């Protein structure tokens, strides 16, 4: 990965974010990488390798849709963190197995197989519906009481 490639990839992502109003996933993926670095050096290195050798070159080339590629990176990081399955939650609260590409209004969560772990956020819509907010509060944040309407951000 070169600096020019990274700049092109960033430009493609920025353009897609601006055009769609989607949330920028980079910060919560950075947080996931930090967690991996502290817990499992090998998994961290796999996450960095995927970023450098797969994600950035693909997005920089323009041959993939940037938001879909970033969602796949998020799935990869989630799987490195805790093996499990990824689901998409629509605005009505219905979940289904996640299939690329992500929908603009879908909440994408990774559900670890091992008991006791919270769901990991892979993708967030620009605004959570009330049903998605309840799902987020329960599965990700571990809250058992509703926190309010869907306009609030996580």
Instruction: Measure the CA–CA gap between 23 and 127, rounded to whole angstroms.
Output: 9
113-125: pLDDT as tens digits: 977 689 999 999 9
Mean pLDDT of the 131-150 span: 80
Q: Counting every residue, how long is the chain?
A: 154
Whole-angstrom distance, CA of residue 64 vs CA of residue 110: 22
Q: CA-CA distances (angstroms) from residue 113 to 26, 31, 74, 116? A: 25, 21, 17, 9
Q: Which of 51, 32, 52, 44 is nearest to 140 (CA)?
A: 32
Mean pLDDT of 6-20: 96
The model's pLDDT over 39-76, given as tens digits with 9 standing for 90+, comes to 999 999 999 999 999 999 999 999 999 999 999 999 99
| Residue 136 backbone phi and psi in degrees, to 5 | -60, -50
CB 106 within 8 Å of CB 135? no
96 DSSP β-pair partners: 88
Q: Looking at the predicted structure, is the pLDDT value of residue 149 above 60?
A: no
Over residues 32-44, the mean pLDDT reads 96
Q: Give the β-pairing of 84-89 and 120-123.
A: unpaired
* pTM of the shown model: 0.89
Name every residue whose Cβ is closer than 8 Å to that of residue 57 and which is 6 or more positions away in sequence: 1, 5, 9
Nearest of 131, 117, 106 to residue 82 by alpha carbon: 117
């Amino acid at each position: 990965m070169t600096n020019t490639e990274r700049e092109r990839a960033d430009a493609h992502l920025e353009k897609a974010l601006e055009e769609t109003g989607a949330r920028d996933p980079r910060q919560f993926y950075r947080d996931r990488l930090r967690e991996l670095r502290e817990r499992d050096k090998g998994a961290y290195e796999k996450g960095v390798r995927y970023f450098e050798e797969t994600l950035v070159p693909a997005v920089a080339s323009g041959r993939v849709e940037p938001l879909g590629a970033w969602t796949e990176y998020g799935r990869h990081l989630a799987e490195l963190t805790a093996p499990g399955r990824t689901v998409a939650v629509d605005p009505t609260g219905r979940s289904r197995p996640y299939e690329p590409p992500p929908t603009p209004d879908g909440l994408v969560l990774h559900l670890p197989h091992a008991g006791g772990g919270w769901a990991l956020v892979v993708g967030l819509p620009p605004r959570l519906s009330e049903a998605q907010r309840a799902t987020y509060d329960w599965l990700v944040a571990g809250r058992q009481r509703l926190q309010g309407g869907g306009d609030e951000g996580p």
